[in-house]
Chain A
């Protein structure tokens, strides 16, 4: 690879790393034709992990980090002094193909600063995807970050080549958006999401291709004073109204050339983690947004215990539950029992009465679950009334170690 391209790659990958919505899952199953390259894997594949513990699945870069906007939380904002660079359509195509052939990546995640105009930028992003698919028969994963201000027809065309289109909400409240991202508008963003949702549904009905892996979004946590409860309710609304595949939470992290409007401190990683757990409870464990939001105090999720445990501690009257006859919905609410464990309990107990040693083989989280469970050889009645239960189950209350 020539030096100039490598330098650009360094700048434009660095500029893209704060976007965390980078999964390669959910695409329809595809494989390369005779002269094509690439395939999709049903649940995505991580090709490496960086020392921040996050997965590298896609080549995540910006087309350019020149940007007309001046969003305070963004390293690429107009008023920041970071080095700037710009890829040509052909360069991105070439990098994607060469990296893909070496099995470094699952595909491309392309975002961009808004250079010149939303339409010009969106059109170039679309052309990258189109060239990969049309000219090179590329069947790998393509995720484009749509620009909400771009003309709908460009987004529509992009949807024909991309597996996923997404629009970042970035800030969970319209008020924060106004202070921190003066050129952005929450109505433009939600309107674009609504339109995208409609296109996805119609395309599915008509068996046309349009962003088959759906849409997702990212919310930055900790750059403003919005509470967890509000974020959770916003997410629930996004899942409900626009059928988003994922809402990603990104703990706001210090960036070089940070705006003075922002807190200069370590990212609230534990908070981000709790929000993901809360999100999980809503999507897979049958919890409502209100139940999750109310599990904490003053609109903030507990940091010392996970939201499921926090909810259980607040609703002790509903525990313990009998492993051998409780319904799925209730088993799913037992701290320490994951979805997989619950399914295995349900099938196993059809064949035998489960005792503690059996449970130990079904779940790794038995220790946490014990105070909330009843089996023929275990009755925790006294445990549930213990005042120190929270302390016994809580993780040491501290920010996750940084280094």
Chain B
């Protein structure tokens, strides 16, 4: 005969169970000596329990199981859970690992049923847009001056006491909407900030439809493939108990009954190919849609959003279209980004000087960058240049190669490692491979980026590096000249 009776609140009374559990453990009450009674239960035997007790340390898997199983409708749930806790505390610490144990097996099944029920609510609940004067609760409109308010209301009948457990899904997902979920066990109202619990509700048979329900039914019907009809499988996944509140299921009878005829018709109907539309023409037209000139390509680049962070605009290449030499830098800097032109900042000015010394006229060459946008990070009021990542460089490579195809220069000069990466598709060491290169399909040359010269701290190193750079440019001039003569 049970010694202790514990009254539990209706629904998923996790707090009540926690409180009871602590006291029962403190008093060492065996599972057989306790009865958990739902609110209002009449079997009055044993002593009602009172008092506070210290927390009980339990493995996390056990507390998680408890939180789930208290939502189950089975009236034995609290008793079964207490039996489990008792055994866990009396030598069977790892009891939940023994999935073959009958009690564990039964509780695991209950847990699974609760979780499935929550999952069903997440999937099968349907909101309906309702416009109200002032919304559902009065306090929302008090003095706010708002008249019409949009609220999304759903009626749902969960299989277990899962309304509260399912709620975080809705608050996270429909954060900026006002919504209410009504169930026979209680209701929840969300205004964008706060979740308020309300009393049980009934389905309102007069609830107005929503202008999108019809469209949703249309979609649902259209996405069904009659050649695969399998209504049994559908019913297995979508239990009938939810159908009453799902607008789309109204389409089911007609879809199922018309399916065989639709399939017969499809199989009977032979193709009526229309010979008018010849593939060659269509394909040709499709091919012609690629950028046809450098101007087209540049328009496309200018219209695209930067793939690096920062950049106010794309900095396009500049120079005569029939230039023998194309110089490829890394990416525009602060000044280039402001002016929208390549090589106008300090490094560009240094390049100008070196070009002049090497006997190359700036106006005769084409200057462009591997990456078309300035990548930077704000530090205070300054825009600090950030090196583009390998994949960013590779991304821009498609544009660069298309650009070069339009220019078809005799020689492509990579200024620095990033440019070489963009041109060759792989990492290249400038110091090791400086000089002549192949950047298929173009003849190439690799040298340092002028910005590198600016960064050298030591004046002597700077001077000698500059001389080497000018020497490289002289070679570039010679190679390009020879290639022109050969051609």
Contacts and interface: CB of A to CB of B under 8 A. Distances in A.
Contact of B229 (A1, A14, A16, A403): A403
Contact of A254 (B105, B128, B227, B391): B227
B260 interface: yes
B389 interface: yes
Nearest to A154: B304
Contacts of B229: 51-52, 402-403
Contact of A17 (B214, B222, B279, B304): B222
A101 B227 contact: no
B212 interface: yes
Given A102-B212, A116-B289, A14 B222 contact: yes
Contact of B126 (A35, A68, A102, A354): A102
Interface string B227-252: 11111111011100000001011001
Contacts of B238: 48-49
Interface stretch (A73-81, A312-320, A330-338): A73-81
Interface string A47-72: 11111111110011100000010100
A5 B215 contact: yes
Contact of A258 (B154, B230, B266, B307): B266
A296 interface: no
Interface in B274-299: 274-275, 277, 279, 282-283, 285-286, 289-290
B41 interface: no
A267 B227 CA distance: 7
Given A51-B231, A267-B228, A156 B395 contact: yes
B97 interface: yes
Interface string B64-107: 00000000000000000000000000000010011111100100
Contacts of A38: 173
A79 B216 contact: no
B421 to A, nearest CB: 13
A32 B279 contact: no
A5 B218 CA distance: 11
A137 to B, nearest CB: 8
A130 B367 CA distance: 32
B242 to A, nearest CB: 10
Contacts of A41: 122, 169
Interface in B382-397: 389-392, 394-395
A256 B304 contact: no
B266 A157 contact: no
A178 B316 CA distance: 40
Is chain B's binding surface mostly helix, strand, loop or mixed? helix
Given A53-B233, A60-B223, A117-B289, A31 B218 contact: no
B1 interface: no
Contacts of B214: 1, 6
Contacts of A365: none
B220 interface: yes
A5 B220 CA distance: 15
Contacts of B226: 52
B223 A56 contact: yes
B222 A153 contact: no
Contacts of B260: 402-403
Contacts of B208: none
A48 B122 CA distance: 11
B124 interface: yes
B305 interface: yes
Contact of A348 (B97, B231, B233): B97
B457 interface: no
Give the most central of A51, A102, A259, A352: most B CB within 10 Å: A51
A81 B94 CA distance: 65
A149 B283 CA distance: 11
A281 to B, nearest CB: 22
Contacts of B228: 52-54, 251, 253, 267, 269, 402
A90 interface: no
B413 interface: no
Contacts of A257: 269, 271-272
Contact of A98 (B119, B212, B236, B391): B212
A127 B480 CA distance: 43
A382 B255 CA distance: 50
Interface in A1-59: 1, 5-6, 9-11, 13-14, 16-18, 31-39, 41, 45-56, 59
A250 to B, nearest CB: 10
Interface in B184-224: 210-216, 218-224
Give the most central of B225, B231, B399: most A CB within 10 Å: B225
A13 B219 contact: yes
A254 B267 CA distance: 6
B442 interface: no
B255 A260 contact: no
A102 B152 contact: yes
B398 interface: yes
B177 interface: yes
Contacts of A9: 215, 218-219, 222
Contacts of B305: 157
Contacts of A14: 222-223
A265 B267 contact: yes
Interface stretch (A201-209, A211-219, A241-249): A201-209
Given A36-B176, A120-B289, A348 B98 contact: yes
B21 to A, nearest CB: 24
Contacts of B119: 45
B263 interface: yes
B124 A348 contact: no
A39 B172 CA distance: 7
Given A254-B266, A348-B100, A36 B175 contact: yes
Interface stretch (A186-194, A227-235, A282-290, A356-364): A356-364
B125 A361 contact: no
B460 interface: no
A87 interface: no
Given A6-B214, A258-B271, A361 B224 contact: no
Contact of A153 (B248, B277, B399): B399
A105 B345 CA distance: 52
A37 B224 contact: no
A373 to B, nearest CB: 14
Nearest to A33: B175
Give the most central of A54, A160, A206: most B CB within 10 Å: A54
A260 B273 CA distance: 9
A10 B218 contact: yes
Contacts of A81: 272, 274
A78 B274 CA distance: 8
A351 interface: yes
Nearest to B270: A260
Contacts of A31: 172-173, 175
In the complex, the 8 A-B pairs of residues with the closest C-beta atoms, listed nearest first: A53-B233, A202-B391, A117-B289, A358-B100, A13-B222, A1-B215, A31-B172, A253-B227
Interface of B: 94, 97-102, 105, 119, 122-129, 152, 154, 169, 172-177, 210-216, 218-234, 236-238, 246, 248-249, 252, 255-256, 259-260, 263, 265-267, 269-275, 277, 279, 282-283, 285-286, 289-290, 304-305, 307, 389-392, 394-395, 398-399
Given A36-B176, A102-B126, A117-B289, 16 more contacts: A9-B218, A14-B223, A37-B175, A51-B230, A52-B224, A52-B225, A53-B232, A68-B282, A102-B213, A103-B125, A198-B394, A259-B273, A344-B100, A361-B100, A361-B105, A402-B263
10 contacts: A32-B172, A39-B172, A48-B123, A48-B248, A51-B230, A52-B225, A61-B219, A140-B173, A202-B391, A269-B228
